[in-house]
Amino acid sequence: MAEDQPQSAKPETTQDPADELLLPISLSDVTLRPLTLDDVDDMMVWASDGKVARFCRWEPYQSLDALADYIRNVVLPHPCFRAICLRCRPIGEISVTENTGGDRCRGQLGYVLVSRYWGKGIVTKAVELAVALVFRERPELERAEALVDVDNVASQRVLAKAGFTREGVLRKNCVLKGRTRDMVMFSLLSTEQLQQLLHCHWVDQVEPYEAAKSRTKKSGPESLMDVPSDEPSPSVDGWEQLEQYALYLKELWEEFE
């Protein structure tokens, strides 16, 4: 959240969405969707939590009205501001800025999550979903980046697991809650993200194929590496060619299931 809204002196409370969700968590249940004013109660759970706000520019919210104003004035007009949902219930937020002019090739990532769900892989999954979304919808975007406080080790791990590169430390980069802070810069390029998608698809197809081949002894290529020479090359640039290659691998696997 980029700006603070006026806050009342007495915090308003709301029910933690985690109370209504069952464990264990499946990452396939993690989705993104636009936030709306109807989400203000759920959003208050993380927006009012001092642990969540520790490395953010904003202070914990104490008023539902102030938070509703923030949703109305900042979230709704934002081109890519999404709720992180678990089984369709918002438990966090993630955003990617949309820049103009000479900065339109890059967007800055930000995210927070209900503290009860930290350390479960949810934010990593949300980051992967968000960057895939913006790289698809914004062809001019070539770089997603994130600035993380040098002491926020957990967030640095999230970005590393999501495939981001740690570029270095920007010393005394910003003032956060009265203190000048060093920030770590992470980035992911659109071409790198495509390569990751292709690699994940390849692994998902190769491993079950080899297992099935040993059980059924069906005839076919020795492995998915034995592909015809006229198939789309995985080294070419662009969404269309790489997606065609991924589809080719999927069809090859289905042929020998």
Give residue limits of the domains in the chain.
Answer: 17-141, 193-255
Distance (Å, rounded) from C-alpha 99 to C-alpha 91? 27
User: What DSSP character marks residue 75?
Assistant: I
Pairing status of strand 81-86 against strand 89-96: antiparallel
What is the greatest pairwise CA distance in the chain? 72
CA gap 242, 153 in Å, rounded: 33
CATH topology of domain 17-141: Aminopeptidase (3.40.630)
Per-residue model confidence as pLDDT tens digits over 2-51? 443 334 444 454 555 445 554 678 889 999 999 999 999 999 999 999 99
Contact 123, 148 (CB under 8 A): no
- Are 232 and 240 a contacting pair, CB within 8 Å? no
Order the strands of the 89-96 sheet from edge to edge. 30-34, 81-86, 89-96, 106-113, 143-149, 179-189, 165-176
Q: What is the mean pLDDT of the chain?
A: 80
**SS3 assignment, position 42:** helix
Structure tokens at 121: 């892989």
What pLDDT, on the 0 to 100 scale, is given for residue 248?
Answer: 59
Q: What is the pLDDT of residue 196?
A: 72
Q: Which amino acid appears at position 138 of this protein? A: R
Q: Are 127 and 144 in contact (CB under 8 A)?
A: no
